[in-house]
Structure formats: C-alpha cells, structure tokens
Amino acid sequence: MFKSNKKTKKVSAVRKRVSPKRTLPKVFINRVILLTLLIGSGYGAVNWYSSVQLFPVKQVRIEGEFNYLDKGMIKKQISEQSTGGFFDLDINSIHERLLTMQWVENAFVRRDWPETVVIRVVEKKPVAKWNDKGVLTAEGELFFPAKLPPNLELIKLKGPEQRHAYVLTELNKMQSMMHLENITISELSQNDRRSWKMAVNGITILLGRKEIYKKIENLVSVYTNLIKPKADKIDQIDFRYTNGFAVNWKKKVAKMNNFENTHTTSINQLKAGTGYLIGAMKNV
C-alpha cells in the first residue's frame, strides 16, 4: 500500500482589528448644551428688548356699548396684561382676564399696528332680578353682581334655589299670552309649594298651582274692560277658584263704598254681563 503524501493546509484565522468607539467627553457635551442655552436666552432677550423698545404698546382702545361697565374699569382689569411690546402681547391672557368680569358676556382682542391694542367688550343684557340679589340674562344665566346698580329696573322673579331658569321660561310664556292686551308682568314668583303669584299694574294676582294658563286666559278676557279701569283701586285678585275669582279692594275703597272687601264671581257671569262683582266695580 502506498502512503498518501497529501499536504495538509494550515488554515490560519485572520483577526480583524476593531477600532474602539470614540465618545465625546461629557464635559464637552455639557459645555455645548450650556452654550446653546446661553445663546438662545440671549437671542430671546434681545428680541424681547427690541420689541419693547422699538414697538411698545402705547394705547389700549376700548369699544362697546356700556350700561353697567365703564372703560376705566376695563383698563384697570387688564393693566398687567396690556403692558410690553406690540408683538409679545398675550392676547389670550387679556381675553381670559376680561371674561372674569361680572358684566362681561364676551370680549374680542386684537392688535392694531403699530402701537394699539383694540378691545371690544359685549356686555351682559339683564332681563330680570332673581330673589333680590341675582341677575338673569335672556339666556337664563344667573350671576350675582357685587353691587346692583341703583337704576336697575327689571322684572322681579322669585323662587326656590336652582329654579331660576324654569321661572324665567314660565315668565316668557305668560307674558306672550298677555301682550295683545298690553298687560305687563312686573313681578312673578313661585313658592316652595309650587304656587304662582304675579303683579300686574300694581295688582297682586294669585294663580295657585294648577291650570295656570287657563287662569291667565281668564285674566286676559276680563282685564281690559273690567280690571284695568279700576286698577288703582284693586289690591288683589285671587284666581285660585275652579271657575271664578275674587277681588280684594284696597281698604280705603271698600270703606268709602260701604261693602265687604272681597267679592267673588264666576267667569261665566262676567261673560254674560251679570254678577255682583260687575255691579260693585261699576259703583266704585
């Protein structure tokens, strides 16, 4: 047998040299960050200074129709927010500040080049007083001014707590039923038992709790011809009866005419032109 003379090849492993990763020193990175912040701060400070110096806000113009606010009050409210440069003025901050004022419904703020800020204020429109302390808007919003204006002549509404929106809604319904006869409600209230009472031309009208709209229809049907001519002599009319009402005369009137103060009649009698109440009222 012949011996194999095959040469064995030696395989040598070639190792690749891996260069170590070079990292920046933390001190260098921190210095770069610090330098960047300083440059940014300086740039911002220069811009702010330039804005204030070159484009300062010199005028605040207030627009709107005011019955319960005044321009001086509004300017005082935003005095801190309205200083500075024209471009740096915080419009949103001014707007939010204005909305905190009790009589402000809405506000609009804009810049007017080159040095003016224009503010337009929409004032709340009160339609009624609530429980002698609060004020109601037409939308049913209730707010409590620190001081009610002395010349504030509004319909007086009263009722249980949290019933203001409901009482206002009922007022609008009742008033719409009366407007054709030019009957104006000056006061309307609902007590804890849900019983209604109103004042019309100085006369107190008791409506009770049930069939309120029917009673108002009865009031309207007799008001112009029977009640209005004697309005200054009537103290109270009670509609808490099923088919009629009672009139309570002022004490002086009752004494002068020598009859009992309260007289009751029915709606049907009134429509027929009969009844003691008609005769009594004609003689007053």
Q: Where are the domains of the chain?
A: 55-123, 126-283
CA atoms lying within 13 Å on the CB side of residue 218: 24
Would you identify the CATH topology of the domain 126-283?
Rossmann fold (3.40.50)
**Alpha carbon distance 110, 86 (integer Å):** 11
pLDDT at 79: 87
**What is the dotted CATH code of the domain comprising 55-123?**
3.10.20.310
For the whole prediction, is pTM greater than 0.85? no
Residue-wise burial string across 139-151, b where 16 or more C-beta atoms lie within 10 A, e elsewhere? eeebeeeeebeee
pLDDT at 20: 53
**Alpha carbon distance 227, 178 (integer Å):** 14
Of 142, 124, 125, the C-alpha closest to 133 is 142
Q: Is the dihedral of CA 70, 72, 75, 77 positive or negative?
A: negative
Instruction: Write out residues in the chain with pLDDT < 70, as ranges.
Output: 1-35, 37-54, 253-284
H or E segment and range at residue 23: none
**Alpha carbon distance 277, 226 (integer Å):** 10
pLDDT at 35: 64
Look up residue 179 and give its two tokens.
């407007």
pLDDT at 41: 58
Our CA dihedral for 193, 196, 202, 203, rounded to 10 degrees, sits at: -100
**Alpha carbon distance 149, 67 (integer Å):** 10
**Alpha carbon distance 260, 97 (integer Å):** 62
